[in-house]
Amino acid sequence: MPGGLKDDSLSTVSFCLLSHHKHFKDCTPMRFHCRVVTVHFLVLDSCLNDSQISESVNQGKIPKAKVPLAGFIVDNGTSLCCCWADDARAELLLRLQEIAILDASVNLKRSKDRNNAKIQRTLGSCLEKMLKKHKKVIVKNYGVPPDISCRDLELLSDVGNVLSSLEEELLKFIVLNACRNGTLNVIASALDASAINGSNVELPDVYPAHNMQNFWVNEIVQVDPLEEARRLYASLENR
């Protein structure tokens, strides 16, 4: 899979309408606006050992969770397509750093324990404990957009353990929260679906992205609606 952009950036790659690119014969980067409709595949992995996890929880640090691969169904304004990402780009689409500091008792309807420190009631600490227990967690979403109810999620533990109800609620919250990301400015390259199947991950036998155009995300920037409106207005005014 292609990595980050070497010579291109948001300032040098022009916008395009994906409906105008029916056949993607190369991996030329394309720039487009989109919003996340749902997360249909997700791998979460711990990048800390047991002692580091304990230290992170005790010191109240934002958890270190690695995202080796994530697939997002996005709406680009003309159709639905599938965007794949890893590492920092996947974390940004999932908003992991933002939700890590949220109170678990509020967002997961979890009863508070007076014996727990404040950091142990955050979603970040719940995520760390889950990954410490399961090492790696895989989420497969069989739901078909626009259904984002998370009723058709398959949750798998790398060590074969059964996920608790709290862990299931945490993963559902992560999936649903990604859909509240707003509009994103994305640079991506067309990707052959067979490249995903050959990356040592077992995708669902039936999943929506089979019939969609696939892209590999190279760069992401959150769109400021006010600034975007001003830019569009200035562009129209100068015509």
- Cα–Cα dist 167/184, whole Å: 28
Q: Pick 57 or 140 by higher pLDDT.
A: 140
Instruction: Tell me the HSE value of 9 on the side-chain side, using a 13 A CA sphere.
Output: 1
Average pLDDT, whole number, for the chain?
A: 77
Give the range among 55-64, 90-99, 115-124, 130-139 with minimum mean pLDDT: 55-64
E strand or H helix at 180? none
- State residue 4's pLDDT score: 42
- State residue 15's pLDDT score: 55
The candidate with the shortest Cα–Cα distance to 213, out of 13, 9, 22, 7, is 22
- State residue 89's pLDDT score: 93
Q: Pick 158 or 148 by higher pLDDT.
A: 158
- pLDDT band at residue 101 under the 50/70/90 scheme: confident
Record the pTM.
Answer: 0.77
